[in-house]
Amino acid sequence: MILLSTWIWKEWRDHRGGIVAFALMAPALIALAIATIPGEWARNGLVPTYAGFAGFAIAALSFGADLVPGELRRGRLGFLARLPGDLWSAFVAKLVFFAVTLFSFAVWTYLCTSLASALFRDGPWFPEIPDKDLHPNGWILLAAASWMFAVSCWLPRGTLAFPAMVLSVAAFCAPVVGAFVMNRGMPLHAVELEWMLGWLALAGVLVAACSFIGGLRHGAPVRRRLLWCVGSAVLAFAPVWGWAGLRVAWFRHLDPGERTFRISACALGSGGRFAFVNGFHECRETHQQNVFGQPFSTSHALVIDLETGAWRRAGDPGNVFLACGQQFNSTPSPYVLLSERHHSRVPAEKEWKDGYTGATGRPLTGDDWKRVLQEYGALDAAVNRETGFIVLPDGRRAWTAGVRILAERAGAGVEELPCEVRDVWTESLGHGFGGARVCYDCTRERSFERRRIPNRVKWIRAGRWILERWNGSGVVTIDFALLDPDTGEVTPLCGFDAATQRIATLEPDGRLVVSTDHVEKAGKLRWATLSLLDPETGESTPLSLPGELDRRISSVAARGFVACGDRMLYITGNGDDGFCATWLGLLDANSGRLRCAGPIHAESRGLLGCPEQDSVVVIEEDRRIVRAWFDGRPTETLFPR
């Protein structure tokens, strides 16, 4: 310890002139700067933080770059090398001195700037350093300072250290940058960037140690210096290169036959032969979870021929399908669009990468694209046409295109409905569309204030709207009421003492199937019910499944169901005890009875469609596409085979 303190004292004596000069000049210069910059800047709480970064950088440039070249330039290396402490002690002292100087300069400039801002321009006293500014800027500075010190051990002059640092870090990071540039969809997570910068900072110290101690001892012959400097740098970067390589391999890996493969979304093309799947590999089951806790690999888009089970990748890793039709849709899609990456909203046109014809599974050609654009007007409108449409009482399909509302009768052209543009329509409501403040009723061609509409609105036929009113918070009860927009009259229908999960309208009589989840304490779902609601009479009729399934549905929560056609319901249940099951139910609308069409005794979350009358295509266990028969025959696995 005494030895180290003596070495550090030597470093202090060596550099104290520069340090004292900076310590004295910094307050004056900072005060001058604070006094002259505009007031809003001077009072900005971020200014002291970035002044601290600047102080850090100045220390790195002034001292880190010259700690070792200074010894070489003055011919003191021989003196240090022959001391009993050897170059180890000298290196440790230089490192400690450098680190202390870096942080002292940063703290000093932060304090001076904060004080100057508070005293002269009414700025905040010692503002908090925002975490988002500290990371990764702090890591970048630390890594740069570390490598400045490292490369300065290779050089005879400190003035070369900065460009040499930039060049060497750029050269060594090139494979990593290349890996991410060539795999555009591969995201670099913030935590990964921080890990990498942290490793670079540590590696810089290790390389500096090797370069200084190994490279400069025994007379520092050129070959030895090169070996230690470049060799240690290569070794230091090797883990980063290896990580980038693994990252690319992990990013590109796709094998639907593996148990880890999962289907996140799927659409069935027109005709039912081709399926368009977004899949990924789940890492938790195989303990392949990376150090950053990400349980999933990247998303892959696959085109699957359900007749043969053959599949091919569409686009690049990271791309996703967004069907012109809802995901998990029961309606086969004529076109399926491929996007660069997942979007929580409809992506802009430039982000569409490619498109596929649903019936053939082939990429859209130039003519196909023209037809798509001609039919839909624009791609985002095309998506709305398929996913956000409503059906008006006269049978027209209506959807939004920006602030416009378009309508189309089957087999006829598209027309624009006259509506006063007062808002950007964001959701389909009743017979119209809702914005932030107003709703537009397409049948009456007029707007009304949104505040009159409670909670959610569902449409029914006969021009009336059904209102869904939520009472309470957390565990809520639901009331249904009818609204006649012409008169403004609201007629109460019925209530349910649980949060409604899904409402499906059964055509053509307009009766609703309502699924409710009944919730007990602690928010646990305990059971689910299905009811048939007649809006005309306000009557709610419970639906029941026969036999064992009836008991099952009362003991598991119905997580959701989808109406397929006008008679078939698809119900998925999850139990607290891990029980998972799916039923296909055929509803007799006249009698209100639900007949079990065929159970699928496995977790199955996705219904793709009913390409044939006697069966449905569903996603089973999130990883297989199977055909389930209504007559109870065993399911047939279509993919993977």
Q: What residues make contact with another protein under the rule CB under 8 A? A: 2-3, 5-6, 9-10, 13-14, 74-76, 78-79, 81-86, 89, 217-219, 221
| CA 188 from centre of chain | 12
* Cβ neighbours around 82 below 10 Å, total: 8
Nearer to another protein, 9 or 579 (CB): 9
Q: State the nearest-atom distance from the C-beta of 66 to another protein, in Å.
A: 15
Q: Which residue type is seen at 633?
A: R
Stated length of the chain: 641
Phi-psi region of 49 (alpha: psi -120 to 50; beta: other; left: phi over 0): alpha
If the CB atoms of residues 84 and 474 are measured against another protein, the closer one turns out to be 84
Residue identified by tokens 């933080």 is: 49
CA distance 217 to 38: 53
CB of 89 to another protein, least distance (A): 8
Coil, helix or strand for 638? Answer: strand
Q: How far is the CB of 75 from another protein (least distance, A)?
A: 6
| CA distances (Å), origin 44, targets 41, 118, 200, 263, 469 | 5, 10, 31, 48, 46
Instruction: State whether the Cα torsion 216-222-223-225 is positive or negative.
Output: positive
State the minimum distance, in angstroms, from the CB of residue 3 to another protein: 5
Least CB distance to another protein at residue 93 (A)? 11
Burial of 338 (0-12, 13-18, 19+ CB in 10 A): buried
φ/ψ of 520, rounded to 5, equals: -100, -165
Q: Do 57 and 141 meet the contact criterion of CB atoms below 8 Å apart? A: yes
Report, in Å, the least distance between residue 83 CB and another protein.
Answer: 6
Residue 168 CB, nearest distance to another protein (Å)? 26
Which one-letter DSSP state was computed for residue 521? G
81 vs 99, beta carbon nearer another protein: 81
Spatial distance between the Cα atoms of 559 and 260, rounded to a whole number of angstroms: 23
Smallest gap from residue 71 Cβ to another protein (A): 10
Quick check: 52 and 117 in contact, CB under 8 A? no
How open is the CA angle 198-201-204, to the nearest 5 degrees? 145
Q: Which is nearer to another protein, 135 or 217 (CB)?
A: 217
Nearer to another protein, 4 or 134 (CB): 4
Which two structure tokens, joined as six digits, stand for 33?
């700067």
What does the DSSP assignment read for 495-551? EESSEEEEEEEETTTTEEEEEEEEE-GGG-EEEEEEEEEETTTTEEEEE---HHHHH
Q: Is the peptide bond before 546 cis (omega within 30 degrees of 0)?
A: no
Q: Which of 284, 439, 267, 449 is nearest to 359 (CA)?
A: 267
User: In whole angstroms, how close is the CB of 283 to another protein at the nearest point?
Assistant: 49
Phi, psi of 351 (to 5 degrees): -90, -5
6 or 426, CB closer to another protein? 6
Cβ closest to another protein, residue 223 vs residue 287:
223
Q: Pseudo-torsion of CA 411, 412, 417, 423, nearest 10°?
A: 40
Nearer to another protein, 88 or 126 (CB): 88
Query: Encoding tokens for residue 208?
Result: 């500096």
* Consecutive H or E run containing 4: helix 2-36
Q: Dihedral of the CA atoms 408, 409, 413, 416 (nearest 10)?
A: -40
Residues 6+ apart with CB under 8 A from 116: 27, 30, 31, 34, 35
CB of 218 to another protein, least distance (A): 4
Nearer to another protein, 44 or 101 (CB): 101
Beta carbon of residue 11, minimum distance to another protein (angstroms, whole number): 11
What are phi and psi for residue 561, nearest 5 degrees?
Answer: -150, 160
Least distance between another protein and beta carbon 87 (Å):
10
Query: Where are any strands of DSSP class E within 145-299?
Result: 261-268, 274-281
Q: Which helix (H) or strand (E) holds 248?
A: helix 222-252
- Which of 82, 132 has the CB closer to another protein? 82
Please, which residue, 17 or 508, has the CB nearer to another protein?
17
Comparison of 83 and 170: residue with beta carbon closer to another protein: 83
CB of 160 to another protein, least distance (A): 23
- Least separation in angstroms between residue 60's CB and another protein is 23
The nearer residue to another protein, 211 or 329, going by C-beta atoms, is: 211
Classify residue 122 as left (phi > 0), alpha (psi -120 to 50) or beta. Answer: left
Q: How far is the CB of 211 from another protein (least distance, A)?
A: 17
User: Cβ of residue 152: shortest distance to another protein, in angstroms?
Assistant: 19
**How far apart, in whole angstroms, are the C-alpha atoms of residue 189 and residue 536?**
54
Closest to another protein by CB, 1 vs 522, is 1
In sequence order, the 6+-apart residues with CB closer than 8 A to the CB of 548 are: none
**DSSP 3-state assignment of 482?**
strand
- State which residue, 85 or 463, has the beta carbon closest to another protein: 85
**Among residues 6 and 637, whose Cβ is nearest to another protein?**
6
Residues 326, 387 contacting (CB under 8 angstroms): yes
What residue type is 256 in one-letter code? P
